[in-house]
Amino acid sequence: LGDALRNTKIQWYQIPVGLGIGFLGLVQFYKVTAREQEKQRDLEVGEPGSQPRGRPKVRPDGPWQVQVMSTLPLKAMSRLWGRFNELTIPYYLRVPGFKLYAFIFGVDLSEVGEDDLHVYPNLAAFFYRKLKPGSRPLHPDPHMLLSPSDGRVLQFGQIEGGDIEQVKGMTYSIDALLGRRTPTSSISNGSSGTSTEHAKKIHREASEEEEIIKSDAEFARVNGIPYTLPDLFTGSGRSKPVKDAATPSSQSTEAEVGAELALGERPWYDIISPDKTTSLYYAVVYLAPGDYHRFHSPTNWVVERRRHFAGELYSVSPYLQRTLPGLFTLNERVVLLGRWRWGFFSYIPVGATNVGSIVVNFDRELRTNSLTTDTEADRAADEAAARGEPYLGFAEASYEGASPVLGGHALRRGEEMGGFQLG
């Protein structure tokens, strides 16, 4: 073989120019055809009889940085980042490591819950640290809406025409952020879904109702929730209730639950007060890497539903918020829908590449930034496509079972709700 390689004469020939041009033309033709076919497949998603193929990939518009980012496997990178940060740091490197992190990202170590930083085995544990009791006093006025977390207020304002202004000139639809309709029951996976079985369960528990009412009335009084129980039952408060049929009385029937499902099909903004005395407002709080990453309830309110959008995990840095329109409608997020003293209230933790895992303390079934969740979302998209329905993009759970009287999970002002974890 060596002899053949050494002694064989090599003679080079020029390829005819026409052949080269033809080859390049073929490559280009193949690329264009593939692109067209991809577009065609995207259009076919949702049409009856079309081939199921998971969630359609959203290609965001934006500068080249955004285009490059959209080609990266952000969720896989985020999971890998999470795993990496769960590796145990050698004991003697922990304190200098955390001090370096604190120096770079501006963490105030004097308010960290544990005096001995050796207690935190890795960066993930340090990142999800608790603070010393009393280091975040609540505003003394009980009527104030509080900041849910440490951070920077990037945007706030009034929502007009259903659009939120992300930055000057860039808006995104509130429907896209929160989700417009409740999906069909096949997607509901909550701890107590809006199902017939749930209605029957409520019916069985009717004999215990009086006791529950007493305890919830006590809760409402303690927390200063300013509506009476009849208000909660009949929706005779200041604004229209989310679900009139959610009243868990001893008369609960399947018909009521059916009515409730029908109400769930309404656009979310139908719940806004019909007398136009109220408006919708929004606020965006950005948490920097060095901030305390647990989030709290900004007021006394009742969470009725949770919608999990298993989206992408772009960075949510102020730069990207300026350059990528609708960033919050692309990223993975947990939309908590409920009501407070003045009517509708929603709370939306949005994940990012480095902090993709959103934890909600009162929802053990919620799994964010998980391969399983992505697979389930793809399956739900396939099923929706097979049924000829558009994929709504989220899985919904109901918290009505948490408190049948209040119709959801009640949260106190300042109560810890959950947090963001690395990866």
Partner 1 sequence: STIVLVFEAPSQQKGENGRVKGWEWKVQKGQRVRQGQALGQV
Q: Which residue stretch of 73-81, 213-221, 344-352, 369-377 sits at the interface with partner 1 (rule: CB under 8 A)?
A: 344-352
User: Could you give the string, one character per residue 355-394, with x where binding to partner 1 holds by CB under 8 A and - elsewhere?
Assistant: x---------------------------------------
Rule CB under 8 A: say whether 330 interacts with partner 1: no
Q: Which of 143, 204, 214, 387 binds partner 1 (CB under 8 A)?
A: 143
Question: CA nearest 367: which of 122, 190, 131, 119?
Answer: 190
User: Looking at beta carbons only, is 355 or 381 nearer to partner 1?
Assistant: 355
Q: Which of 78, 247, 346, 368 binds partner 1 (CB under 8 A)?
A: 346
- Relative orientation angle of helices 196-204 and 254-264, to the nearest 10 degrees: 130
Rule CB under 8 A: say whether 147 interacts with partner 1: yes
Q: Which of 26, 277, 319, 388 binds partner 1 (CB under 8 A)?
A: 277
Residue ranges in 44-73 that form contacts with partner 1 under rule CB under 8 A: none
Q: Which residue stretch of 56-64, 95-103, 151-159, 220-228 sits at the interface with partner 1 (rule: CB under 8 A)?
A: 151-159
Rule CB under 8 A: say whether 215 interacts with partner 1: no
Tokens linked to 195: 């199902």
In three-state secondary structure terms, 355 is coil
CB atoms within 10 A of CB 177: 18
What residues have CB less than 8 Å from 10, skipping those under 6 apart? none
> In a 10 Å sphere around its CB, with 0-12 CB exposed, 13-18 middle and 19+ buried, how is residue 210 labelled?
exposed
β-strands 357-360, 333-340 pairing: unpaired
Q: Which residue stretch of 30-38, 248-256, 343-351, 365-373 sits at the interface with partner 1 (rule: CB under 8 A)?
A: 343-351
Phi, psi for 83 (deg, rounded to 5):
-60, -45
Question: CA nearest 189: which of 321, 363, 38?
Answer: 363
In three-state secondary structure terms, 83 is helix
Which residues of the shown chain bind partner 1 in the complex (CB under 8 A)?
Answer: 136-139, 141, 143-156, 159, 164, 174, 177-178, 239, 272-273, 276-287, 292-293, 295-296, 298, 316, 321, 328, 340, 342-352, 355, 414, 420
